Structure 1
Amino acid sequence: MIRITLELSSEVEEKLRESLVRHDATEMRQLLAEAFSTTVETLLKQASEPSPSNDEFEFIADQLAEEFAACVGSDAPMLSDYAVSRAGIYSN
């Protein structure tokens, strides 16, 4: 499932609310189409950005692991093999 969030300026949001009150479906469609068009352009630009190389990915993953370790501290309990297995994840 892909979730897309439209970020609207307060001006566009207000226009949408006014259109809703007036039951002006045409204006609402136009405002939403313009907002959606901008969002699609942003998504396409993001999709065209190159993926990180394996070395870049490893570097980022190491940084995240170090930041996580700094947040939880050295005395954080380890998860069991079962806890991270498919059966453990999907058990109640």
Structure 2
Amino acid sequence: MASTQNQLDEIAKNLTSMAAQISDLARKMSTFEPLVPLAAKLDKLPDRVTQVQASAFEYSEQVRALNLAVSRVEAAQHAAGTPATSGSASG
């Protein structure tokens, strides 16, 4: 009979421990609950990063092409002996 009582005490102790752990888990989950809507936004983040990288590459290529065009215009003006103007008119 004492063995059965010891088993029941052990079961009661385990149940009390489990209840405390479940309560702690519920408290921790309630802390994270407000963050759940952000998970959907974070899920889309890798696609956004890829889009930004593609845009940055495209813009850098456009800037490179523009720099090349400006260099060619300046070289052509220099070869022709025409001074490059800075936008100010001489009068």
TM-score by length of 2: 0.34
Whose helix fraction is larger, Structure 1's or Structure 2's?
2
Structure possessing the higher relative contact order (Cα contacts under 8 Å, 6 or more residues apart): 1
Structure with bigger gyration radius:
2
